[in-house]
Amino acid sequence: MLSIPSDAVIATPFGRIGLSLAGDSLSAVDFLVAETPLQAGHHPLLQEAKRQILAYFNEPKFVFDLPYQLNGTPHQLKVWQAIAEIPAGEVLTYAEIARRCASSPRAVGGACGRNPMPLLIPCHRVVAMHGLGGFNANRNGLDWLPIKRWLLQHEGVIDGQ
Protein backbone atom coordinates (compact mmCIF):
# COMPACT_ATOMS: atom_id res chain seq x y z
CA MET A 1 0.00 0.00 0.00
CA LEU A 2 1.22 3.48 -0.86
CA SER A 3 2.27 5.68 2.06
CA ILE A 4 1.52 9.36 1.55
CA PRO A 5 3.59 11.77 3.64
CA SER A 6 1.38 14.40 5.27
CA ASP A 7 2.00 17.23 7.70
CA ALA A 8 -1.16 16.24 9.60
CA VAL A 9 -3.56 13.28 9.52
CA ILE A 10 -7.08 13.64 10.90
CA ALA A 11 -9.91 11.19 11.51
CA THR A 12 -13.13 11.51 9.54
CA PRO A 13 -16.36 9.51 9.45
CA PHE A 14 -15.02 7.52 6.45
CA GLY A 15 -11.30 7.17 7.16
CA ARG A 16 -8.33 9.48 7.41
CA ILE A 17 -7.48 12.74 5.65
CA GLY A 18 -3.88 13.83 5.17
CA LEU A 19 -3.07 17.53 4.97
CA SER A 20 0.14 18.86 3.43
CA LEU A 21 1.58 22.36 3.48
CA ALA A 22 3.74 24.38 1.13
CA GLY A 23 4.72 27.55 2.93
CA ASP A 24 1.56 29.17 4.28
CA SER A 25 -0.84 27.32 1.97
CA LEU A 26 -2.28 23.85 1.78
CA SER A 27 -0.66 21.90 -1.03
CA ALA A 28 -2.66 18.67 -0.77
CA VAL A 29 -5.65 17.07 0.88
CA ASP A 30 -5.52 13.29 0.57
CA PHE A 31 -7.98 10.59 1.50
CA LEU A 32 -5.97 7.90 3.28
CA VAL A 33 -6.73 4.39 4.50
CA ALA A 34 -8.44 4.17 7.88
CA GLU A 35 -5.36 2.55 9.46
CA THR A 36 -3.12 5.57 8.75
CA PRO A 37 -1.83 6.82 12.12
CA LEU A 38 -3.23 10.15 13.26
CA GLN A 39 -0.72 12.98 13.22
CA ALA A 40 -1.25 16.32 14.91
CA GLY A 41 -0.23 19.30 12.87
CA HIS A 42 1.12 22.19 14.89
CA HIS A 43 1.12 24.83 12.15
CA PRO A 44 -1.83 27.24 12.64
CA LEU A 45 -3.06 26.55 9.10
CA LEU A 46 -3.20 22.80 9.77
CA GLN A 47 -5.20 23.45 12.92
CA GLU A 48 -7.58 25.76 11.02
CA ALA A 49 -7.94 23.22 8.19
CA LYS A 50 -8.84 20.53 10.72
CA ARG A 51 -11.38 22.87 12.35
CA GLN A 52 -13.00 23.67 8.99
CA ILE A 53 -13.06 20.03 7.84
CA LEU A 54 -14.74 18.98 11.09
CA ALA A 55 -17.19 21.88 10.69
CA TYR A 56 -18.09 20.51 7.23
CA PHE A 57 -18.79 17.09 8.75
CA ASN A 58 -21.13 18.77 11.24
CA GLU A 59 -22.77 21.04 8.65
CA PRO A 60 -22.67 19.90 5.01
CA LYS A 61 -23.37 23.43 3.72
CA PHE A 62 -20.20 24.73 5.42
CA VAL A 63 -18.07 26.79 3.00
CA PHE A 64 -14.31 26.31 3.24
CA ASP A 65 -12.09 29.36 3.44
CA LEU A 66 -8.52 28.08 3.40
CA PRO A 67 -5.50 29.21 1.39
CA TYR A 68 -4.29 26.55 -0.99
CA GLN A 69 -1.78 26.26 -3.77
CA LEU A 70 -2.67 24.50 -7.01
CA ASN A 71 -0.16 23.13 -9.48
CA GLY A 72 -1.66 21.83 -12.68
CA THR A 73 -2.01 22.33 -16.39
CA PRO A 74 -4.11 25.25 -17.66
CA HIS A 75 -6.87 22.72 -18.46
CA GLN A 76 -6.78 21.20 -14.97
CA LEU A 77 -6.87 24.64 -13.36
CA LYS A 78 -9.90 25.62 -15.46
CA VAL A 79 -11.72 22.38 -14.53
CA TRP A 80 -10.83 22.73 -10.84
CA GLN A 81 -12.14 26.31 -10.85
CA ALA A 82 -15.45 25.15 -12.36
CA ILE A 83 -15.72 22.37 -9.77
CA ALA A 84 -14.92 24.77 -6.91
CA GLU A 85 -18.04 26.76 -7.86
CA ILE A 86 -20.45 23.82 -7.33
CA PRO A 87 -22.30 24.49 -4.05
CA ALA A 88 -22.89 21.81 -1.43
CA GLY A 89 -26.01 19.79 -2.13
CA GLU A 90 -25.71 20.16 -5.90
CA VAL A 91 -23.98 18.15 -8.61
CA LEU A 92 -22.93 18.70 -12.21
CA THR A 93 -22.13 16.03 -14.76
CA TYR A 94 -18.74 15.57 -16.36
CA ALA A 95 -20.42 16.68 -19.61
CA GLU A 96 -21.73 19.91 -18.03
CA ILE A 97 -18.27 20.78 -16.70
CA ALA A 98 -16.81 19.90 -20.11
CA ARG A 99 -19.19 22.34 -21.82
CA ARG A 100 -18.25 25.11 -19.38
CA CYS A 101 -14.54 24.46 -19.96
CA ALA A 102 -14.66 23.79 -23.72
CA SER A 103 -13.37 20.29 -23.07
CA SER A 104 -14.54 16.67 -23.12
CA PRO A 105 -16.10 14.62 -20.32
CA ARG A 106 -13.13 12.22 -20.34
CA ALA A 107 -10.64 15.10 -19.98
CA VAL A 108 -12.74 16.51 -17.14
CA GLY A 109 -12.66 13.10 -15.46
CA GLY A 110 -8.88 13.07 -15.83
CA ALA A 111 -8.62 16.48 -14.17
CA CYS A 112 -10.93 15.33 -11.38
CA GLY A 113 -8.66 12.34 -10.81
CA ARG A 114 -5.71 14.67 -10.31
CA ASN A 115 -7.51 17.14 -8.02
CA PRO A 116 -5.07 17.81 -5.15
CA MET A 117 -7.74 19.37 -2.91
CA PRO A 118 -10.74 17.04 -2.59
CA LEU A 119 -13.36 18.48 -0.24
CA LEU A 120 -12.08 22.03 -0.86
CA ILE A 121 -12.43 21.54 -4.61
CA PRO A 122 -15.42 19.19 -4.35
CA CYS A 123 -14.88 16.74 -7.21
CA HIS A 124 -17.32 14.40 -5.45
CA ARG A 125 -20.02 16.77 -6.80
CA VAL A 126 -19.17 15.80 -10.39
CA VAL A 127 -21.16 12.77 -11.53
CA ALA A 128 -21.80 10.74 -14.66
CA MET A 129 -24.92 11.20 -16.80
CA HIS A 130 -26.22 7.95 -15.30
CA GLY A 131 -24.83 7.11 -11.88
CA LEU A 132 -22.02 8.45 -9.76
CA GLY A 133 -19.15 7.94 -12.16
CA GLY A 134 -15.65 7.43 -10.84
CA PHE A 135 -13.74 9.20 -8.13
CA ASN A 136 -9.98 9.77 -8.31
CA ALA A 137 -9.17 6.47 -10.00
CA ASN A 138 -8.25 4.61 -6.80
CA ARG A 139 -5.52 7.14 -6.03
CA ASN A 140 -3.28 6.31 -3.05
CA GLY A 141 -4.28 2.64 -3.27
CA LEU A 142 -7.74 3.44 -1.92
CA ASP A 143 -11.14 3.01 -3.57
CA TRP A 144 -12.59 6.51 -3.23
CA LEU A 145 -16.04 5.68 -4.65
CA PRO A 146 -17.48 4.81 -1.20
CA ILE A 147 -16.14 8.18 0.00
CA LYS A 148 -17.88 9.94 -2.90
CA ARG A 149 -21.11 8.13 -2.01
CA TRP A 150 -20.72 9.08 1.68
CA LEU A 151 -20.06 12.76 0.87
CA LEU A 152 -23.06 12.97 -1.49
CA GLN A 153 -25.27 11.32 1.15
CA HIS A 154 -23.92 13.75 3.75
CA GLU A 155 -24.85 16.67 1.49
CA GLY A 156 -28.33 15.22 0.85
CA VAL A 157 -27.78 14.62 -2.86
CA ILE A 158 -28.37 10.86 -2.71
CA ASP A 159 -30.19 8.67 -0.20
CA GLY A 160 -28.28 6.44 2.20
CA GLN A 161 -28.47 2.74 1.47
Catalytic machinery residues: 123
CA distance 69 to 143: 25
Q: Which residues contact 17 (CB under 8 A, 6 or more apart)?
A: 9, 10, 29, 30, 31, 32, 53, 119
Helix (H) or strand (E) holding 9: strand 8-12
